[in-house]
Each structure stands twice: as structure tokens, then as C-alpha cells.
Amino acid sequence: MTVSFTSRQIPVIGRFAPSPTGPLHLGSLVAALGSYLLARRSGGRWLLRMDDLDTPRVLPGMADDILRTLEALGFQWDGEVVWQSSRTDAYQAAFAELIDKGMVYPCGCSRQEIARIGSAPHSKDGELLYPGSCRNGLPQGKTPRAWRVKVTDEPVCFQDGIMGACCETLAESCGDFVVRRADGPFAYQLAVVVDDAAAGVNQVARGADLLSSTPRQLRLQRLLGYPIPDYWHLPLVTGPGGTKLSKRENAVSLAAGRDLAKTGGSLLLAALRFLGQATPTFPAIVTPREVLAWGVSNFDPAVIPRNSVPFPE
């Protein structure tokens, strides 16, 4: 199965979907800016969604801080903010459709049990590969712990706007993957494809750490008959030693004491340079709206780098 990247005609509908499990940081700033400019450069819409489905990890007050920080940085989104936590009925409907099609099944395996199965190797990326122990029915004495969607050994290929041609065989990289826990919560992979389809999102620009999620989402989109968005996976901001920046590091947050009225424009300029853009010389104190206006008119996707590097000083 191959999904080709296309240069869409307007209207592009992009989105930014932070998780309120920590403050906006330099990495999420890059993702917000990249998704914003990729949508706005062609006159498209930019939507905002709070991916707050993982309620145990959501920090009180963090969603409001993210919204206020984005506003202080000059970002303007179209329509109302969508909250995943209010969309359980939509996920249930999609899940019921997968059941009707015979594409999901209950699984009674714990992670520890999967790890102990000798025939369950790790993928080339180190991910634990589910061996399909419950695919043909729950073993005697087992109770469901999760619901998994069936995958095939057919490669899932797509053309990413930044990373180029990408291919993955889900049967070799992860196996049948979880779409719902038995105690109720739906998995990110299902929720995000339902939300994007409902909002008409046709351009998904996000961090490269989610590149491996894309084949799983393509699988679900095909099973549910959803349109396939264009995907753009932006380089990550790395911390010391080349590791991905955590949400505790380099917070771009009003709650962290940053005066974004003074520093927001400079932060956005640095984020533009991180995305490979040749920015002009601005005054020492430049407003976020001035930087965003320049970006909308001049952003060049062709120069976005693939490599993840530290944020420029």
C-alpha cells in the first residue's frame, strides 16, 4: 500500500494538537510554528486540538497555559478548540465499526507476558513486537486487557513532505496494535485519526518522533474509509547528548516566567532558523505577529532539514 504526497490546492486544513501533560517547550514551539506556516502560506486553515485523552498524565492548568502562551506568541487558530476528552462517543462509533468489520479482537496479554514469549522479538527500532497470541481467540483463563487491530505483512508506504519516501511493515515493526484498553480508554492511534477525519484535516505537520505512528494511522484510515492527509514530520529539537527534548526542559511558557511580549518575536525567529529559513534582519525587539506575518509570506518548505539538532541560541 503506497500513499503519495501531493501538493494540495487550497484550502489546506492543518492542525496543532498538543498534549497538556507539560508546558509548551522549544520542541512543541517548532511543531506549532511549522504546522501553522505550512497551512497559512497557502491561505489554509489552522485548527487547534487538545489531545487530553490520557487523563492520568494531564496536569491541571496546563491546557490553559498552553492556550495563553500560543496567544501571546501571536498564533491565531480557526474555530473552537477541540478537546479529545469530550469526543468519546466518536471514538466508540469508530471502534464499533472496526468490530463490525472483524478487524479488532480482545487480547489478554500483559506487556510482561509478551516480553517473555520467545517468539516475540523486538523490531529494528527496539519496540516490543506483539506475536498475535490472542488473534484467534482468548486463551482459556484469560480476560481481556486490551483490544488490538489486525495488521498485515503488506508494506505501508507513504511520501512524507520532509522525510521523503517511508515504508514500514506493521507485522514486522509492532504487530497487531492496541486501539483500546479493556477498562475503557481509547488509544492515541484511533483517537487521532477519528479527530483528523472529523475536522477535515488534510495536512498533518508534527514532530518526527511521531513518524513511526503514521503507518498505524494509515492502516486505521484505510479500514475506516477515511481520507489520507499529507504528512510532514518536522525535525526534533534535541537536548544534551542528542536526546529528544523533554517537556521539563526549555519551557516556552508564561507560567515559566517568560516575558513573551519582549522575547516572543526572537523565539519565533530562532524557530524559523531551526526550520532552515533564511530570516532577514529584524529590530532587536520584534513582535511575534511581525515574525509570523513574514513567515506566512516567505516560508519555504523545501529547505526544512531532516536532521534533529539543538535549538539555535
User: So which residues are the catalytic ones?
Assistant: 247
Grid cell listed for 119: 517468539
Task: Work out the widest C-alpha separation in the chain, in whole angstroms.
Answer: 71
Taken in order 278, 280, 286, 289, the sign of the CA dihedral is: negative
Q: How does 37-53 read in b/e, with b if 16+ C-beta sit within 10 Å?
A: bbbbbeebbbbbbbbbb
Distance separating alpha carbons of residues 157 and 101, to the nearest angstrom: 23
